[in-house]
Structure 1
Amino acid sequence: MDIEGYAKRGILRNDKGLKEKLADRILDIKNISRKHALEIAGAVIVEANATLNPEGELLSPTTSGVTMGEFGVGSRGLGDFYTHEKIAEVIGRTSAVVDSSHLDDSGVVRAGGQYVVVTIDGMHSRLSDFPFLAGFHVARAALRDIYVMGARPVAMLSDIHVADDGDVAKIFDHIAGITTVSELTGIPLITGSTLRIGGDMVIGERMTGGVGAVGIARSLTARIQAMPGDVIIMTEGAGGGTISTTALYYGKHSIVDETINLKFIDACEALLEAGLIEKIHAMTDVTNGGVRGDAKEIARTAGVKLIFEEEKLRALVNRKVLEMLDKLEIDYLGVSLDALLIIAPPEHASEILSCIWKNGVAAD
């Protein structure tokens, strides 16, 4: 709970009982005396008043009058895609090889004769109570974003924030999830940051954070390189954080086990080892927004139309995951499947498929 935000809203509506109400909210979460809660509430109100109407150009935030939830930011729908486009406009064109205007999975710069690929992924917000799972899936997601640019990941970094009343062990559990992926892939977690969410001003146990990754590439498989006449190949997928969250909160806990795998990474490593990356025009991971969302962004970025054979797509979704989604009436084409999407010239399709199949990953 954001107690500073609560205080500011109370001040704006001239709530005479604000201090008592805020103390009640604090006592809902913290096991302290009422005297202590009133002291905290009083201090919060003083600080909230001091920053309610700051003076100076740099201290005046821009407001739109539309909330994140109303606009669908983070929900991987039209509002979210539109926000990404506007972020790219704010940043503007840069000297990077691939920047935010490309709406790609990672950014790319050239250094020392090589491509340096950088990405950051946020953990699924509903996995706050499952820190190991959150760490595993966000680490895997960050590595996916490096691999799909045709790069080999060389390092990871993490950022974790836990609210004031969260158990300290959440940090270690989360890091354990990240380092599980690190140990299985040989890609080290080398640095990070650990903070409280909002310092003293956010109470409760909520956790959030992200994992970044850096990779090196000789050639790129950016979305913008998709060409008319290319074929589309997709690997099998069982989902990640989104599917885990769906399974957890609908009481289908056994489905979570289906998401714990590194098949995506196995497929990418096989393609790198076989030297097939140079024969691929573009790659992406089917994540939040699903096949539909990725197709929309690729079509807009590369100026191409994407045509899929749905019966082949459906067959590549983990059977147990697909059964859950169908039962819950969730469209599998609009959610993260943790599948690899490859766009390549038709003459290389057989070689690419054979390479993936030989490494125990289904694809079509």
Structure 2
Amino acid sequence: MTDLTTPPLLTSLAHGGGCGCKLDPSVLNQIIERTPGLAMPAELIVDAATRDDAAVYRLGDDLAIVATTDFFTPIVDDPFDFGRIAATNALSDIYAMGARPIFCLAIVGMPVGKLPLETIRTILNGGRSVAEAAGAPIAGGHSIDAAEPFYGLVALGIVHPDRMLTNAGAKPGDVLILGKPLGIGIYSAAMKRGIISPEDQAEMIASTTLLNRPGTDLAGIDGVHAVTDVTGFGLLGHLREMCEGSGVAAVLTRDAVPVFAGARRLAEDGVRTGASVRVWASVGDFVTAPDGWPDAERDLLCDPQTSGGLLVSCAPERADEVLALFTRHGHEAAAVIGRTEAGKPGISLV
């Protein structure tokens, strides 16, 4: 029997953490490809066909409901922060569709005999604090006694059907903008090894609990053509989905991609995640990279981002407006990282 007076660290109870514990992209593709398709109602205007961030159901000419779910095992040991990060990550899919979140349901799996009830309560309070700050209170949910702890949300939002954003609308000649720096997976790996600095850990928590609020406002900007959020499949994995869904190629300017300085240093010192290796295995045939491309840089571009930034494809003349919007919502690191081009879907690194 576990001594609950000295409870174990949350991350010690899970084999993986955050969005890094998502299924291998190639495995997920095999599962989905072999699953028979079903006839969908005409009102379901976004489904899983383009691997988008959420499903969208039209309720009328001027209203659609957006629905998503996301949950994962602990990425940090502080229970309140774990709840906050999981909730921020789940709500990100609502923002990525240009929607406004309205309410949530909690998804809870906890090893009750291994964790004090107060720890579980604190996780839920962390999630609730974020959901309420987003204007989407947690109205209920479902819980089970599980071997590993996990927590997340079903998130619901609303959007005008004509202003909805998807990952499949990018146009040739767009610029690509990334809202948050990369490196969360590297930070998480370093934390589990006990080699992350307090400053880097604080940076990790601040980024993963920063809501992607710009997404709701992006829906009101003409010339914003496609949006997704960068999470477990890394920048290259989610950019691939955008390229394939939109029928465009992408040119990524490597030096322009924002990366946490601490994460870059750790990556250069050999810290990596197993998930980044799996992501590269699934996207490598889609990417044209220069000779001598450093392993550390590849790992960062494939790094699984828990509660990562929005990836936006917009007309060049709207780039300054989009960047100003990100800054207004506290995303000061947002940057133009490349462009889209006509041609066979693929990613070129320059």
The CA deviation at 1:239 is 5.5
**Pair 359,178 (structure 1): closer, same or farther in 2 beyond 3 Å:** closer
Q: Which residue of 2 aligns with 1:120?
A: 69
Kept after mapping to 2: 8 A contact 1:148/1:221: yes
Kept after mapping to 1: 8 A contact 2:132/2:138: no
The CA deviation at 1:153 is 0.9
1:149 aligns with 2:97: yes
Distance 1:225 1:308 in 2: 18
Among candidates 208, 223, 226, match of residue 150 of structure 2: 208
Kept after mapping to 2: 8 A contact 1:115/1:217: yes
Among candidates 291, 294, 302, match of residue 334 of structure 1: 302
Among candidates 215, 224, 228, match of residue 268 of structure 1: 215
Map of 1:182-261 to 2, 5 A cutoff? 182-197=131-146, 206-218=148-160, 219-237=163-181, 242-243=185-186, 245-253=188-196, 254=198, 255-261=200-206
Map of 1:274-289 to 2, 5 A cutoff? 275-276=220-221, 278-289=222-233
The TM-score with structure 2 as length reference comes to 0.71
Q: Which residue of 2 aligns with 1:94?
A: 40
Letter of the structure 2 residue corresponding to residue 159 of structure 1: I
SS in 2 for 1:195: strand
The CA deviation at 1:130 is 4.6
The CA deviation at 1:166 is 2.6
Distance 2:36 2:111 in 1: 30
Bigger CA radius of gyration: 1
Map of 1:302-313 to 2, 5 A cutoff? 302-313=246-257
The CA deviation at 1:176 is 1.8
Letter of the structure 2 residue corresponding to residue 286 of structure 1: V
Kept after mapping to 1: 8 A contact 2:79/2:122: yes
Q: Could you list the runs of 5+ residues in structure 2 that have no partner in the other structure?
A: 4-19, 273-298, 336-350
SS in 2 for 1:105: coil
Letter of the structure 2 residue corresponding to residue 151 of structure 1: A
The TM-score with structure 1 as length reference comes to 0.69
Q: Could you list the runs of 5+ residues in structure 1 that have no partner in the other structure?
A: 1-28, 32-71
SS in 2 for 1:121: strand
Letter of the structure 2 residue corresponding to residue 211 of structure 1: L
**Pair 84,311 (structure 1): closer, same or farther in 2 beyond 3 Å:** farther
Letter of the structure 1 residue corresponding to residue 194 of structure 2: G
**Pair 105,93 (structure 1): closer, same or farther in 2 beyond 3 Å:** farther
Cα-to-partner distance string for 1:75-134 (whole Å, 9 max, x where unaligned) = 444223443444xx43435221111122111111101431211000022x3548553333
Map of 1:19-38 to 2, 5 A cutoff? 29=1
SS in 1 for 2:53: coil
Kept after mapping to 2: 8 A contact 1:120/1:142: yes
The CA deviation at 1:236 is 2.7
SS in 2 for 1:191: strand
**Pair 343,82 (structure 1): closer, same or farther in 2 beyond 3 Å:** farther
Letter of the structure 1 residue corresponding to residue 70 of structure 2: D
SS in 2 for 1:260: helix
Cα-to-partner distance string for 1:185-232 (whole Å, 9 max, x where unaligned) = 3331121112212xxxx5xxx312321100111111111212222221
Q: Which residue of 2 aligns with 1:6?
A: none
SS in 1 for 2:103: strand
Distance 1:231 1:140 in 2: 26
Cα-to-partner distance string for 1:318-345 (whole Å, 9 max, x where unaligned) = 2223322332343111123412110112
Q: Which residue of 2 aligns with 1:4?
A: none
SS in 2 for 1:325: helix
1:363 aligns with 2:306: no
When the two chains are superposed, the root-mean-square deviation of aligned CA atoms in Å is 2.6
Q: Which residue of 1 aligns with 2:322?
A: 352
**Pair 307,188 (structure 1): closer, same or farther in 2 beyond 3 Å:** same
Distance 1:171 1:249 in 2: 20
Letter of the structure 1 residue corresponding to residue 302 of structure 2: G
Distance 2:76 2:261 in 1: 27
**Pair 195,79 (structure 1): closer, same or farther in 2 beyond 3 Å:** closer
Which of the two has greater helix per residue?
1
Pick 1 or 2: higher relative contact order, CA cutoff 8 A, min separation 6: 2
Map of 1:42-81 to 2, 5 A cutoff? 74-81=22-29
* Structure 1, 244-253 or 334-343: larger mean CA deviation: 244-253
Letter of the structure 2 residue corresponding to residue 351 of structure 1: E
Q: For this pair of structures, how many residues does the alignment match?
A: 280
Percent of aligned pairs with the same amino acid: 28
